[in-house]
Amino acid sequence: MTAQLRPTRSRRSPRALAAAAALLGAAFLAVAAASPAVAHDELLGSTPEPGQVLEAAPEAVELTFSNDVIATGTVIEVVDHHGEQVDVGATEVLGPDVSATLPGDLAGEYQVRWRVVSSDGHPIEGTIDFGVGAGATGVWESEPPHDAGSDSGSDDAATTGDDGGPGGWAIAAFVVGGLVILGLVIVLVVRTTRRRPPGAVAP
């Protein structure tokens, strides 16, 4: 009587499968968290420089970024210490360089407010304080507008920074999604190892 050979099934250790799933989940989280941080361009230099005090107004505000920026949506604005806009020229974009001409009669404290669209399509923005004249300090502080009372305008200070590319909510979503995927993989591995192979005969 010829003995019938049953096909053998390769079994992998549940610990090995769980470890592989954990490594995949960690790699997913690392890539998701790191990608937004390297996506945006950055400001490399400016004229005037932050906090600089000049004897006379520069001919233009000039910004240089780490990569070519997109002209659409890119703008340079300048405000005085009352928060009122200075009449600057049109914003010009040439590769990584962005500029706007300034009037020659500036005196006092001013703030450049720039917003550009970086090469990856994400908008970034920031501010640069500077001063013109002997009494200037190079530090812009918000004061009430010319046509407002002494109590108005105290909360008009401009904020600086990027924006950019994805904030804390986006990173949190990536982390939660990775943990959910990792949990599902571990559950499937455990349930598969506990399930008896089809056709097995109880001893």
Q: What is the pLDDT along the chain (203 residues), one digit of tens a residue?
A: 555 555 555 555 666 666 655 565 655 555 455 444 455 789 999 999 999 999 999 999 999 999 999 999 999 999 999 999 999 999 999 999 999 999 999 999 999 999 999 988 999 999 999 999 999 999 999 888 766 554 444 454 444 445 545 556 667 667 667 777 777 777 676 676 666 555 555 44
Residue 32 shares a structural domain with residue 63:
no
pLDDT at 179: 76
Query: Which residue range(s) make up the domain with 31?
Result: 14-36+167-194
Domain presence at residue 202: no
What single letter denotes the amino acid at residue 36? P
Same-domain status, 46 and 106: yes
CATH number for position 91: 2.60.40.1220
pLDDT for residue 8: 52
Residues 22 and 48 in one domain: no
Q: Provide the residue count of the chain.
A: 203
Asked if residue 87 and residue 23 are part of one domain, the reply reads: no
What's residue 158's pLDDT?
Answer: 45
In a domain, 78, yes or no: yes
- Residue pair 114/76 in contact (Cβ under 8 Å)? The answer is yes
Shared domain for 47 and 26, answered yes or no, is no
Q: What is the DSSP letter of 194?
A: H
Q: How far apart are alpha carbons 114 and 22 in whole angstroms?
A: 44
The pLDDT score that the predictor gives to residue 53 is: 96
What does the DSSP 8-state code read for residue 2? P
Q: Which two tokens stand for residue 151?
A: 């109590």
> What per-residue confidence (pLDDT) applies to 104?
92
21/50 same-domain check: no
**49 and 91 share a domain?**
yes
User: Could you give the angle at which helices 14-34 and 168-194 cross, rounded to 10 degrees?
Assistant: 170
128 and 46: one domain?
A: yes
* pTM for this predicted structure: 0.56
In a domain, 145, yes or no: no
Q: What whole-number distance in Å separates Cα of residue 194 and Cα of residue 131?
A: 73
Q: Based on the domain organization, do 55 and 85 belong to the same domain? A: yes
Q: Are strands 108-117 and 123-132 parallel, antiparallel or unpaired?
A: antiparallel
Please, is 159 exposed, middle or buried when counting C-beta atoms within 10 Å of its C-beta (0-12, 13-18, 19+)? exposed
Q: How far apart are CA 143 and CA 82, in angstroms?
A: 5
pLDDT of residue 178: 73
Q: Is the bond preceding 48 in cis, omega lying within 30 degrees of 0?
A: yes
How many structural domains is the chain composed of? 2
For residues 31 and 49, membership in a common domain is answered with no
Q: Identity (one letter) of the amino acid at 26?
A: A
